[in-house]
């Protein structure tokens, strides 16, 4: 049973956000969303997996010659404010204390390859999600610009993201920020794809969010925020040890496929999706945990089990 927390300042589809003055407390729940609906069912350990994977990637991307700045301050339970101590056992493993940022009103989507439906759209209409391909590639062939940057607006909960062209992104954030966000997104994607490949995983596509964080000297810095490279924000496929064809996915597409193919529900109905069956909930939880373990190379240990082992 989820403990009672203070009312969040605001809520995303799966995340509760608490304004602590000079920083934010992000709490990732076990909720899952699909087709712009927050489903009735929850997925055990999902919030911890998303948080722990984000922490892994923040650390991984901070290494090397060109570290990617991120908004993380702490995920240590000892750094929680006093009012959250009564619910510390619930928050353990699923929260981050982060710097406040001014988010850009776009989602920075990068595609390493196209899904079959997008391949069909491109071949038939020369568009991706309705956007003319030349408006995404500056006139180049798509084969010349993979990984391909395909931005969208960032909608409020319950609304639809809208895929936009680079010109439309410039209208929203300016030309300089558009170029910086595109280049940064592609750079992060390439770094992540190399790591995933070392784990026999193909990173199909992902979305990033960025914000501006003000420095002490009054300047501002583009910073990676929110979650990063998780099964909620990305599509991963396992490849066999010889580098052959993908043979298994582990991301939210598993739930989408069940809703579309087996539930009797359709997004066209205009009604909320049905609850997930117990076997789908269990299998989805296992896929999220598998994603964590394959990407990080470490076993997933729930925070509650870690605490009990520490008390033993």
The better pLDDT of the pair 117, 279 is held by 279
Determine what percent of the chain is predicted with pLDDT higher than 90: 74
Instruction: Measure the CA–CA gap between 112 and 122, rounded to whole angstroms.
Output: 15
The better pLDDT of the pair 305, 148 is held by 148
> What pLDDT is stored for residue 131 in this prediction?
93
Tell me which CATH code domain 10-261 carries. 3.30.470.20
Instruction: Measure the CA–CA gap between 292 and 296, rounded to whole angstroms.
Output: 6
- Going across the sheet that includes 10-11, the strands are 10-11, 15-19, 23-28, 95-99, 72-74
Per-residue confidence band for 243, with pLDDT thresholds at 50, 70 and 90: very low
What is 91-128 written as a DSSP string? Answer: HTTTEEEEE--EE-SEEEEEESS--HHHHHHHHHHSEE
Q: State the DSSP H helix or E strand holding residue 248, giving kind and residue range, or none if neither.
A: strand 246-249
Tokens of 293: 């373990």
> What pLDDT is stored for residue 70 in this prediction?
97
What mean pLDDT is predicted for residues 68-90?
94
Task: Encode pLDDT of 160-207 as tens digits.
Answer: 789 999 999 999 999 999 999 999 999 999 999 999 999 999 999 999
Find, among 170, 124, 131, the residue nearest to 148 by Cα.
Answer: 131
> What pLDDT is stored for residue 117 in this prediction?
86
Per-residue confidence band for 157, with pLDDT thresholds at 50, 70 and 90: low
What mean pLDDT is predicted for residues 64-76?
93
């Amino acid at each position: 049973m989820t403990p009672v927390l203070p009312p969040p300042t605001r809520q995303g589809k799966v995340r509760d956000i608490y304004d602590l003055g000079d920083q934010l407390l992000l709490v990732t729940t076990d909720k899952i969303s699909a087709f712009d609906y927050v489903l009735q069912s929850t997925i055990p350990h999902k919030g911890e997996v998303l948080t722990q994977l984000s922490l892994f990637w923040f650390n991984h991307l901070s290494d090397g010659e060109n570290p990617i700045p991120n908004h993380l301050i702490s995920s240590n339970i000892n750094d929680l404010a006093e009012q959250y101590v009564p619910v510390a056992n619930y928050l353990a493993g699923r929260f981050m204390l982060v710097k406040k940022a001014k988010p850009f009103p776009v989602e920075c989507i990068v595609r390493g390859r196209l899904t079959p439906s997008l391949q069909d759209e491109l071949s038939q209409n020369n568009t991706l999600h309705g956007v003319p391909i030349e408006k995404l590639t500056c006139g180049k062939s798509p084969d010349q610009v993979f990984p391909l940057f395909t931005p969208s607006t960032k909608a409020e909960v319950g609304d639809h993201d809208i895929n936009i062209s680079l010109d439309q992104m410039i209208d929203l954030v300016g030309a300089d920020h558009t170029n910086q966000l595109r280049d940064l997104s592609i750079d992060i994607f390439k770094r992540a794809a190399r790591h995933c490949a070392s784990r026999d995983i193909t990173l199909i596509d992902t979305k990033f969010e960025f914000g501006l964080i003000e420095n002490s000297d009054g300047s501002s810095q583009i910073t990676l925020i929110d979650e990063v490279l998780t099964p909620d924000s990305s599509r991963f496929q396992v490849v066999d040890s010889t580098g052959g064809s993908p043979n298994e996915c582990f991301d939210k597409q598993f739930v989408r496929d069940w809703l579309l193919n087996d539930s009797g529900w359709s997004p066209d109905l205009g009604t909320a999706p049905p609850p997930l069956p117990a076997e789908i909930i269990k299998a989805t939880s296992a896929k999220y945990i598998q994603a964590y373990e394959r990407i990080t190379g470490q076993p997933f240990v729930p925070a509650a089990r870690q605490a009990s082992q520490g008390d033993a």
